Structure 1
Amino acid sequence: MISLTKAEKFFTDMKNKKIAFIGVGVSHTDLIKLFCKKGLDVTVCDKKTSEQMKEYEELVTAGAKFSLGESYLDEMAEGRYDVVFRTPGMYYNNETLTAARHHGTAVTSEMEVFFDLCPCPIYAVTGSDGKTTTTTIIAELLAAEGKTVHKGGNIGRALLPIIEEVSEDDAAVVELSSFQLISMRRSPDVAAITNITPNHLNVHKDMQEYIDSKANLLLHQNAFGKAVLSLDNETARDLAPLVRGQLAFFSRREKVENGSFLRDDGMLCYNDYGTVTPVVHMNDIKIPGLHNVENYLTAIAVTWGKVSVETVQKVARKFGGVEHRIEFVRELDGVKYYNNSIASSPTRVIACLNTFAQKQIMIMGGSDKGISFEPMADLVCEKVKLLILMGQTKEKIKAAVTASPKFKDSGLEIIIVSDMAEAVKTAHDHARSGDIVSLSPACASFDMYRMFEDRGNHFKSLVNAL
């Protein structure tokens, strides 16, 4: 008798069930097509109309049914579906999903099911800042060692649609957001938390719920799991008692007993309970900034024992970074322009301010996530010469910066503009040779753009058109 794989059994079990997907987008498009190809009963639930949904025709062709428009969740709340896949953008404790669960509906997500079915080791990264770059570095390191790597999650690719292609000898490297983790009840083989600072408080009930979501990355590991935590970030460090398996730390500020650290001479090292191995010098890391030193320290701790020192050195010298993360756009008339659209919180802005020695011209503002701008205000006064503000939060940022005791003597000029085009023109008009202009919004993009990538791409197109 031939035994079924976990994936084959899952798709067999899904037959004769009514399955709904909330939203299309990155997480669901390929998955909906796969489910339709398997002959499953699939309904796409989306607030958009058929005219607004660019994927509509291809999903009709695939065999999907639809519940669209303002009443798209009505049947779900009544428990009309057996299984619901929520998009990460829909809060798990949403009243409709809560009602569906009370009716016996199984509410899950693409990433939850992937974790259940994945046959290979899973390396997963979360954190308020740095998780995309760290995830990418880990994937680059494992691939350079010859592994077949499946990178996805919050990083922009769904992995469940390719579950039947994943073998036991591969490696899955995933980035997970708090919105994905809030409902997770399975943890990865290797878990890393880069840091935890206030974020997404406009969605989460409170800061504790945000922290608890991140903690799900660790809570369900067994004794053979490995966890990597920041020693420098108190909130992440305080999760150490939850770790059941091996615990390693990383630190930019002090030597750790087990894990990676930055030595005084600039060498990134790994300490294996007293055996210290130099790995790579910070000056050999191609992507700039101390925050990227921390990203490499995390990746080294995660892959220690799986990746050689020589491989880390090779990747560090070659890897050029991830788009929208202090991404060099162009130099024009001696002025360098950087796209840091990912900087949707004050801590990310601080990382950009500390990357360059000189004062910057900085474009900020966007939609309000319910977090304070006060933590970055002093450094903005010290390291920004011209602050260009736009979007929903422009006055809130201005108030935080001008309230800083360092503002009065800073010489900082603040200009408020209406949109990105005016912001780029203003920066170009004021910049002189040797200046740095960066888009570092400190906010989400949703007041003007669908995603932070759209914001960054618009900035780049405007800069390249100068």
Structure 2
Amino acid sequence: MRQDFKNFKTNIKNKHVAIVGLGISNIPLINFLSKLGCKITLFDRKEIENFSNSEIKSFNKLNIKFVFGKNYLNYINNFDYIFKTPSIRSDILEFENARKNGSIITSEIEELLRYCPSKIYGITGSDGKTTTTSILYNLLKNSGHKTWIGGNIGFPLFSKIEEMHEEDKVVLELSSFQLMNVTLSPDVSIITNISPNHLDYHKDMDEYINCKKNIFKFQNDNSITILNRDCSITNSFEKELNGRCRKFSLDHTCDEDVIKNGAYLKNDELYVLNQRIFHKDDLKIKGVHNMLNFAAAILATIPDTSYSTIKNIAKEFSGVKHRNEFVDTINNIHFYNDSIASTPTRTLATLSCFDKKIILIAGGYDKNISYAPLLNAHDKIKKLYLIGATKQKIHDIFRKYSSDIEILTFDNFNKLVIHAYKNAEENDIILLSPASASFDMFKNFEDRGDKFKKIIQTIKASK
């Protein structure tokens, strides 16, 4: 049950509030809470010299206190509220002690779920959630609804909550980090799939799965959850749902309930509620996984979108930035940027979109997951370029089970891309699809993708 935001404003005024982590979601939050009359202290592991003078000056104007440096959490006590960034676990000793002393530990996402007056659509999963979120947002927006997008993408929305209305729609991409401690769920939830991910953060696979379950765990009987029937883990969630269930599947011979009340593929055509929607050739973005992303988004928005809107979005939607994004062609060598692919299953999905062997650039930050699934794309890889913390793990997997793919390892990203280009043949495709996170060498996957595109621009300028 959503609560009245007026209560939050009343309760938090003049309270001592800690903001832990100067992440992207916390900058608007700091300004918002300051306007509500909070006494704010900002905590961050980084030293003060890592912040720009303009940032420090802007916070000084708000009379914000600072605690910086590696021991920053030693001083997190005697606060009424603690807003933490999702990347920090809430079960660390410092937070446990603060909780015992009466602190309320929360996050921007949890408070949005608690007080948002609008209908909320939440999307999570190991793969495809950004694309599905973007499709769902476009379906609602182009159907005439005032639609907000946030969570892992878009703008942090809690600071905009007073501008939202009951008839609006809110679309949230939600990671396992964001879902880990929430005690509220969206009105409509999608779980695209579950495969091993973020095992550097989570204690084990069970914890990762249980975090994902929070997207439906606190729903009521008026809620809807959309599940991937083809994923054994998500399919098993049906018995735990409080609300209604809709499923999507590749298999048109699946159980009768999916055919009548869900979505499926048959002869390269998408059917929803047993009605033909479009053929795969109607989609601007390619790949069977994108057919399923559309299936999930359409199931979530019924009956708030029209058939004509769905058809238009299918023809116009070109995908999300850094997701199998065509970059350029130089001397008949084609470059694609799939930097968002931070797991082997994401990379597999992208490789399936191409009808020829690919020069693949992979490797990055180690999330403690297996790279054996990449072997399923053995016949799609012409040459393998590896970099980053996971390069040896990927190298060893391929060398153990495959001997006919040329593998090259690099320490310098710029030199890797240039070498791949200089040694490519006419009509080769060079694909950056790392199957790994980016934090070993880059700020995030956007930074990695942008660096890739900048190197390609430099190569083109030198011709």
Do both share a fold (TM > 0.5)? yes
Match of 2:393 among 393, 396, 401: 396
**What is residue 189 of structure 1 aligned with on the other side?**
187
CA distance in 2 between partners of 1:301 and 1:451 (Å): 31
**What is residue 75 of structure 2 aligned with on the other side?**
75
**What is residue 48 of structure 1 aligned with on the other side?**
46
1:175 CA drift (Å): 0.6
CA distance in 2 between partners of 1:338 and 1:153 (Å): 26
Contact kept, 8 Å, 2:410 with 2:416, in 1: the verdict is yes
CA distance in 1 between partners of 2:424 and 2:282 (Å): 30
1:340-370 alpha-carbon deviations (Å, 9 max, x no partner): 1111111011111111010000111111100
**What is residue 268 of structure 1 aligned with on the other side?**
270
1:320-340 alpha-carbon deviations (Å, 9 max, x no partner): 111111111111111111111
CA distance in 2 between partners of 1:45 and 1:248 (Å): 42
Partner SS for 2:17: strand
Contact kept, 8 Å, 1:194 with 1:298, in 2: the verdict is yes
1:119 CA drift (Å): 0.4
Partner SS for 1:25: coil
Match of 1:448 among 418, 441, 448: 441
Which stretch shows the higher mean deviation, 195-204 or 34-43?
Answer: 34-43
1:16 CA drift (Å): 2.7
Partner SS for 2:360: strand
Contact kept, 8 Å, 1:223 with 1:244, in 2: the verdict is yes
**What is residue 340 of structure 1 aligned with on the other side?**
338
1:354-405 alpha-carbon deviations (Å, 9 max, x no partner): 11010000111111100010111242x211111001111111100011122x
**What is residue 326 of structure 2 aligned with on the other side?**
328
**What is residue 430 of structure 1 aligned with on the other side?**
423
In structure 1, runs of 5+ residues without a counterpart are none
1:190 CA drift (Å): 0.3
Contact kept, 8 Å, 2:249 with 2:265, in 1: the verdict is no
CA distance in 1 between partners of 2:265 and 2:384 (Å): 35
1:216-262 alpha-carbon deviations (Å, 9 max, x no partner): 11110000000100001111111111111111001122352344434
Contact kept, 8 Å, 2:12 with 2:36, in 1: the verdict is no
**What is residue 369 of structure 1 aligned with on the other side?**
367
2:60 pairs with 1:60: yes
1:34 CA drift (Å): 1.2
Partner SS for 1:172: strand
1:96 CA drift (Å): 2.0
Contact kept, 8 Å, 2:263 with 2:299, in 1: the verdict is no
**What is residue 384 of structure 2 aligned with on the other side?**
387
CA distance in 2 between partners of 1:448 and 1:113 (Å): 33
Question: What letter matches 1:442 in structure 2?
Answer: A
Aligned ranges 1:241-280 → 2 under 5 Å: 241-254=239-252, 255=254, 256-271=258-273, 276-280=274-278
CA distance in 1 between partners of 2:397 and 2:442 (Å): 24
1:421-448 alpha-carbon deviations (Å, 9 max, x no partner): 0111111012122111111111111111
2:282 pairs with 1:284: yes
TM-score, with structure 1 as normaliser = 0.94
**What is residue 166 of structure 1 aligned with on the other side?**
164
Question: What letter matches 1:389 in structure 2?
Answer: L
Length, aligned pairs only: 451
Contact kept, 8 Å, 2:116 with 2:164, in 1: the verdict is yes
1:156 CA drift (Å): 4.1
Partner SS for 1:368: coil
Question: What letter matches 2:268 in structure 1?
Answer: G
2:151 pairs with 1:153: yes
CA distance in 1 between partners of 2:347 and 2:125 (Å): 16
CA distance in 1 between partners of 2:220 and 2:240 (Å): 11
1:143 CA drift (Å): 0.4
Which stretch shows the higher mean deviation, 355-364 or 426-435?
Answer: 426-435
1:38 CA drift (Å): 2.2
1:34-72 alpha-carbon deviations (Å, 9 max, x no partner): 111222101110011222124332222233211111221
Alignment CA distance shift 1:261-1:91 (3 Å): same
TM-score, with structure 2 as normaliser = 0.95
CA distance in 2 between partners of 1:293 and 1:419 (Å): 36
1:126-176 alpha-carbon deviations (Å, 9 max, x no partner): 000000110110000000110000100011421101000000110000010
Partner SS for 1:357: coil
In structure 2, runs of 5+ residues without a counterpart are none
Question: What letter matches 1:96 in structure 2?
Answer: E
Partner SS for 1:238: helix
Question: What letter matches 1:384 in structure 2?
Answer: I
CA distance in 2 between partners of 1:258 and 1:25 (Å): 44
Contact kept, 8 Å, 1:250 with 1:259, in 2: the verdict is no
Contact kept, 8 Å, 2:14 with 2:37, in 1: the verdict is no
Partner SS for 1:402: helix
**What is residue 8 of structure 1 aligned with on the other side?**
6
CA distance in 1 between partners of 2:265 and 2:44 (Å): 51
Partner SS for 1:323: coil
1:412 CA drift (Å): 1.2
1:192-212 alpha-carbon deviations (Å, 9 max, x no partner): 100000000011011000000
Partner SS for 2:27: helix
CA distance in 1 between partners of 2:79 and 2:121 (Å): 32
**What is residue 218 of structure 1 aligned with on the other side?**
216
**What is residue 201 of structure 2 aligned with on the other side?**
203
Contact kept, 8 Å, 2:226 with 2:299, in 1: the verdict is yes
